[in-house]
Amino acid sequence: MFQAVSKSFFTSLAASTTLKDLASKYGMRGPRSFARRFIAGETIDEAIAAARAVESAGMAQTLDLLGESVATMSEADTATRNYLAVVDRIVQAGIGRNISLKLTQLGLTIDRATCVDNLRRILDEAAAHEFFVRIDMENSPFTQVTIDVFETMWQQGYRNVGVVLQSCLPRSMRDVKRMNELGARVRIVKGAYKEPRAVAYQEKEQVDAAFVEITKLLLSSGTYPAIATHDPAMIAAARAHGAQHGITPDRFEFQMLYGIRRDLQAQLVAEGFRMRVYIPFGREWFPYFMRRLGERPANVGFVVRGIVNER
């Protein structure tokens, strides 16, 4: 309940241009500015440096060039070109080849066909360099269309692509079975958006119970699933199911967000599990940043201290 209120509060704050201006001014200004806790930086060079640090700690990474809900075709085209440039820079840098992206960044809200074309451009380039591309899942108005676009690419023979399912949506129980049938790679998350009662569980206990159920299905009959959570109870449930059914740690990976529960990331690696860190970067970091605050209001204190110290 508290989490739902917190999510909607931060969603409404995310629309504030004053707050965005203030955050943009201070959040990334110096090497220790507050937004850097969760975002690697505004440039690809900063993201590559963060990726190198993650890899040298024995973990894998996925880079996410931040951006969502672009309003024009030309912005969608720019985002696509920027992603192609990111692919190129990752190849040059010699770091792990894995990226995450959002369909609304590629023009989904403007024209679906153009979005599919943009995605295809990225998947082709990515396939040529043996990348894996994860399509992030956005809020519920985009669930079906995101899955449809994913399946279109899958039917066209693309295999270097995977989806994300959110345990807060009851429909995900169906979707996971479909993805397992296809043999598609799924990242399971709880869901970062404030969703209406008509489509989503409202209680944390329900979201958690569904997360565990979906995780079990993925571990037992999925294809190299990603269990993306910082919640020790979810991780314990995944580990217990794996141990009980002889599913070895090379058949799945845990994923966590950059800057969150770094202690747990290191601990899981030390215990022999695979860990991939999701590294967001880019100038459009404000909505992502606000979602992280909404998940854990204690982060606000940390941000306020950062702003006060910056002035």
Ligand X SMILES: Cc1cc2nc3c(=O)[nH]c(=O)nc-3n(C[C@H](O)[C@H](O)[C@H](O)COP(=O)(O)OP(=O)(O)OC[C@H]3O[C@@H](n4cnc5c(N)ncnc54)[C@H](O)[C@@H]3O)c2cc1C
- Residue 214 Cβ, how far from ligand X at the closest point, in Å? 12
Report which DSSP code applies to 133: E
By CB under 6 A, tell whether 104 contacts ligand X: no
Stretch that binds ligand X, among 45-53, 80-88, 178-186, 253-261 (CB under 6 A): 253-261
C-beta closer to ligand X: residue 99 or 228? 228
72 by Cβ neighbours in 10 Å (0-12 / 13-18 / 19+) ranks as: exposed
Rg (CA), the chain: 19
Q: Of residues 10, 34, 193, 201, which one binds ligand X by CB under 6 A?
A: 193
d(CA 285, CA 282): 6
Q: Is 145 exposed, middle or buried (0-12, 13-18, 19+ CB in 10 A)?
A: middle
Q: Which of 187, 239, 276, 291 does the annotation list as catalytic? A: 187
| 116 close to 149: Cβ distance less than 8 angstroms | yes
SS3 category, 96? coil
**Is residue 111 annotated as part of the catalytic site, yes or no?**
no
**For the chain, how many residues are written?**
311
Is residue 231 annotated as part of the catalytic site, yes or no? no
Candidate list 64, 136, 175, 208, residue with the active-site label: 136
Binding test (CB under 6 A) with ligand X, winner from 136, 175, 195, 253 = 136
* Member of 90, 116, 189, 235 binding ligand X (CB under 6 A): 189
Strand duo 226-228 + 60-65: pairing: unpaired
Among residues 51, 116, 126, 228, which is the contact residue for ligand X, using CB under 6 A? 228
Instruction: Give me the residues that bind ligand X (CB under 6 A), please.
Output: 136-137, 164, 166, 189-193, 228-231, 255-257, 260-261, 278, 292, 295-296, 299
Residue positions annotated with a catalytic role: 136, 187
